[in-house]
Amino acid sequence: MGIKWNEIFVGGDPLLVGSQIAIVLTVVAIVVGLTYFKKWGWLWREWLTTVDHKKIGIMYILSGVLMFFRGGIDGLLMKAQTARPEMNFLDAQHYNEIFTTHGVIMILFMAMPFLIGLMNVVVPLQIGARDVAFPQLNALSFWLFFSGAMLFNISFVVGGSPDAGWTSYFPLAGKEFSPGIGNNYYAIALQIAGLGTLMTGINFIVTILKMRAPGMTLMKMPMFTWTTLITSIIIVAAFPIFTVALALMTFDRLYGTHFFTLSSGGSDMLWANLFWLWGHPEVYIVILPAFGIFSEVIATFSRKTLFGYTSMVVSIVGIAFLSMIVWVHHFYTMDAGPAVNSFFSITTMLIAVPTGVKIFNWLFTMRKGRIQFTTAMLWALAFVPNFVIGGVTGVMLAMAAADYQYHNTLFLVAHFHYVLIPGVVFAVFAGLYYWWPKMFGFMLNEKLGKYHFWLFVIGFNVTFMPMFFLGLKGAVRRAYTYSAESGFAPLFLVSAIGSIILAIGFAVFCYNIYWSFRYAKRNVSHDPWDARTLEWMTASPVQFYNFAVVPEVKQLDAFWHMKKRGETLTLKESDIKKIHMPSNSGLPFYMAVVFGITGFFLVFEAHIAAAVAAIGIVIGLVIRSFDYNDGYYVSVDEIKRTERTWRNVEGGTENHVG
Amino acid sequence: MEHKSKYPVSHVVGFFFSLILTFVAVFVALKMNVSYTIVMWIIGSLAVVQAGLQLFMFMHVTEGEDGKTNVINMAYAVFVAIVIVAGSIWVLTSGHAAH
């Protein structure tokens, strides 16, 4: 069927052979383990076919942890290669592949699933809903994302990784200059994962607009829900641009069209333009939910309502608006003319205004608050100064004239790591420590959490602070080595040492998950942090129908005020009615499999095989359109039984651990 | 836009204005002695105005429980479309990039 089998398995390099062996062994271990413990049925019923937003969220988060590991190893390899001048640890080609996969994986397969996972777990609970608006679509979103992520991840051992940078600029990414199949992975895997993300965006807009508890007007929504709503709107606006750009790229690479080529009337800069039309809003897609997480954490642990709620809402809407009109600042050096560069300099600098408003709101929330230094709060506190460094260097880069000096240096690399790591990764960690008891019914160990925090934050600064100075001295990004005469060596070495500290911090986090899973106390209260929003009103871990009776919301921080009125745990059994819930479905998982197979054949340009596999996609769509399963009802008896278990165990809201 | 009277005022007004806009377009295209580009600009603008008019007068976008959402959606869609299309053209045809 036109597959070049000799091209499929990449061999030779000991690193790659080692990875191939490790992957095979891991797969064997998983299969043997599942069979030995007789867990296949459990896996299928409880996870692979689930439409429960909480379980889907947990699967997203698990994928995020795995991908953080993969992207982190990529990062460490790069740091090892540049630790000393003229190192021969990685060759130029291997280095190109690694910085490409590092970028793609960290943004699209680490940051996105972590945040979408937290959105999935938390948002329906925060608005008092029983699930998202389209539960089966939600499962499909996850499985398409997972399918795309796995397809992308196998590239380095099957066929070769993409190697044109995470931005995949043409003409380099085109067939003329990258004839191998590596960049096909980029075009096709991201397309499949992007479909899932787009569906998530639609799902959350409808969920938040239509499924809020009675009384919760838009201006009484928790801040994380607000940021999720605005994020979803940006997703729906921006992701189709990427879909189209990737489709054109696929046509160029697979079918010989000339959208982005240098010859035959193509425009290589059109790719850069379309990529960043999506790519810049994408940055705000990952940063806005993170802002929401910090808002919740800071309000909870300062024991105060969020300062300047209205200005927060106006700021996120303003950021969403501006995020659509700043994309050219990624390629000022394309030299698009003074009017264009000036316009985009100004809009870019304007973004600092609503962001600054938010920073001050968080500071004023803490002012005169009774701050509790929990691990979650520590991440939020560390976020503020670190993110400000990222933001201020961003304003430096925003000036088009100055950018000609900074462009494509490590100064830029340091800048966006200072924005994305404090902005997204710190937020994800804060969110995980904060919402972990709600997801699993036990807390992550606070002491290990603090080791994780200090190692990670110190490691992060030691890794990336030197890169600002390296960049100012002229060290370019994406260069696999440098000469001893350049004088870069000491700072590169410091940066490499920092990356080891960073990695140890992440290892402590993984150990913390393991330790807490094994040994942490299981009888945590449903409200261990004495928090403010509705998700803390129901059991930990949350019962599958979320709320026995949907709460009525009277003001912002609804749960906090309910606790003050002493009405949280009073549940009249006469109020309980049967609950309608969606049924599980294996269809989303099936779709992920057929999309994955189709994508794999397309990557290898086996067009007939791909067309045959694509029939499987159509069959899935047909089955779905004849699906008349409208869900089922949970009986009042079952609800009463479930509610008695957790309400009796705890008793009162005074029972907190924090 | 709650109308108490049974007489469909907005439909009649909408119909009347649609007729005027259409005849103006016909007049510009057939009778005015200006260049092709100007004619296209004028009748294009008239078409956009008429589409907007019909959305409000005939399709009642502002009415019903989703009225406000509809208007925000359409305004946002127009904004995004202009940014993507006009923005890309502006960026790619100015300065050295185009040459």
Q: Please check whether residues B28 and B68 belong to one and the same domain.
A: no
Q: How far apart are CA A525 and CA A374, in angstroms?
A: 16
ipTM confidence = 0.84
- All domains of chain A in start order, with CATH: 39-585+629-650 (1.20.210.10)
Under the banding of pLDDT at 50, 70 and 90, the label for residue B1 is very low
Query: Given CB atoms, is B73 within the 8 Å cutoff of chain A?
Result: no
pLDDT at A657: 40
In chain B, the number of structural domains is 2
Rounded Cα gap, residues A24 and B40, in angstroms: 64
List the beta bridge partners of residue A633: A580
Percentages helix, strand, coil for chain A, rounded to the nearest 5? 70, 0, 30
Alpha-carbon Rg for chain B in angstroms: 18
Backbone angles phi, psi at A440, to 5 degrees: -120, -10
List the single residue in B83, B84, B95 with the smallest CB-CB distance to A337: B95
Q: Does A209 touch chain B (CB under 8 A)?
A: yes
Q: Which of B69, B80, B88 sits opposite A273 (nearest CB)?
A: B88
Q: How far is B51 from chain A (nearest CA, A)?
A: 22
For chain A (658 residues), the mean pLDDT of every run of 10, in chain order, is 57 73 83 86 90 95 94 94 91 92 95 96 94 94 95 88 92 90 94 96 95 93 96 94 96 93 88 94 95 96 94 95 93 87 94 94 94 95 96 93 93 96 96 95 94 97 96 93 93 96 96 94 87 90 90 89 80 83 93 96 93 95 91 90 74 40
CA distance A370 to A65: 32
**Rg, C-alpha atoms of chain A:** 25
What are all long-range contacts of A279-282, with beta carbons under 8 Å and residues at least 24 apart? A279/A167, A279/A242, A279/A327, A279/A330, A280/A323, A280/A324, A280/A326, A280/A327, A280/A329, A280/A330, A281/A234, A281/A237, A281/A238, A281/A323, A281/A324, A281/A327, A282/A107, A282/A238, A282/A242
Place of tokens 């603090």: A450
The boundaries of the domain holding residue B52 are 8-59
Whether residue B20 is found in the same domain as residue B55: yes
Q: How far apart are CA A441 and CA A542, in angstroms?
A: 8
Bridge-partner residues for A589, per DSSP?
Answer: none
Backbone angles phi, psi at A633, to 5 degrees: -110, 140
Which residues in chain A are closer than 8 Å to B91, comparing Cβ atoms? 273, 328, 336, 340
Q: How far is CA A140 from the centre of its chain?
A: 17
Q: Is the peptide bond before A541 cis (omega within 30 degrees of 0)?
A: yes
Which pLDDT score, from 0 to 100, does residue A3 have? 53
How high is the pLDDT of residue A55? 95
Question: With an 8 Å Cβ cutoff, is A499 touching chain B?
Answer: no
Cis-peptide into A171, omega within 30 deg: yes
Do residue B71 and residue B48 come from a single domain? no
Cα angle for residues A138, B83, B90 (degrees, 5° grid): 140
Q: Is residue B3's pLDDT more than 60?
A: no
Distance CA A376, CA A430 (A): 4
- Let me know how many helices (H) and strands (E) chain B has, helices first: 3, 0
B73 with B92, same domain: the answer is yes
d(Cα A587, Cα A416) in Å, to the nearest integer? 39
Report in angstroms the alpha-carbon separations of B33 from A273, A449, B29, B36: 40, 78, 9, 9
Asked if B15 and B46 sit in the same domain, the reply is yes
Q: Around Cβ A19, how many Cβ atoms within 10 Å?
A: 15
| Shared domain check, B53 and B12 | yes
CB contact under 8 Å between B87 and A325, yes or no, is: yes
What is the distance between the alpha carbons of residues A192 and A150, in angstroms, rounded to a whole number?
Answer: 11
Paired tokens of B82: 């202009």
Within an 8 Å CB–CB cutoff, is residue A132 touching chain B? no
Phi, psi of B92 (to 5 degrees): -85, -10
Q: Find out whether B46 and B25 touch, Cβ atoms under 8 Å.
A: yes
Q: How far apart are the C-alpha atoms of A97 and A162, rounded to whole Å?
A: 6
Task: Give A632's strand partners.
Answer: A581
Give the DSSP per-residue string, A356-394: HHHHHHHHHHHTT------HHHHHHHHHHHHHHHHHHHH
User: Strand, helix or coil at A241?
Assistant: helix
DSSP letters for A85-130:
TT--SS-HHHHHHHHHHHHHIIIIIIIHHHHHHHHHHHHHHHTT-S
pLDDT value at residue B99 = 58
Q: Which helix (H) or strand (E) holds A633?
A: strand A632-634
**Cβ neighbours of B87 in A, within 8 Å:** 277, 325, 327
Query: B45 and B77 share a domain?
Result: no
Cα separations (Å) of A339 from A322, A406, A430? 18, 20, 42
Cβ atoms A443, A656 nearer than 8 A = no
User: Which chain B positions have a beta carbon within 8 Å of A334's beta carbon?
Assistant: 96-97
Query: CB–CB of B95 and A338 under 8 A?
Result: yes
Nearest to A138 by CA among A211, A36, A84: A211
Query: Do residue B16 and residue B50 come from a single domain?
Result: yes
Please check whether residues B37 and B72 belong to one and the same domain.
no
Is there a domain that residue B21 lies in?
yes
**Closest-CA residue to A200 (of A125, A145, A152):** A145
User: What are the tokens at A649?
Assistant: 């165990």
A625 at interface of B, judged by CB pairs closer than 8 A: no
Among residues A293, A454, A295, the alpha carbon closest in space to that of A375 is found at: A454
Q: Does B2 map to a domain? A: no
* A269 touches B at CB < 8 Å: yes
Establish if B69 belongs to a structural domain.
yes
Nearest to A135 by CA among A197, A214, A54: A54
Listed as own residue / partner, the contacts of A625-632 with beta carbons closer than 8 Å and 24 or more positions apart are A627/A585, A627/A587, A629/A583, A629/A585, A631/A580, A631/A581, A631/A582, A631/A583, A632/A580, A632/A581, A632/A583
In the chain, the amino acid numbered A571 is L
Question: Which distant-in-sequence residues (6+ apart) come within 8 Å of A175 by Cβ?
Answer: A252, A253, A256, A261
Asked if A235 and A285 touch (Cβ cutoff 8 Å), the reply is: yes
Q: Is residue B41 part of a domain?
A: yes
Read off the tokens for A539. 């059991």
B73 shares a domain with B51: no
| Inter-chain touch A339–B94, beta carbons under 8 Å | yes
Instruction: Classify residue B42 as exposed, middle or buried by CB count within 10 Å of its CB (0-12, 13-18, 19+).
Output: middle
In this prediction, residue A651 carries a pLDDT of 42
Residues B18 and B41 in one domain: yes
With CA atoms as reference, the chain B residue closest to A270 would be B92
Same domain, B19 and B31: yes
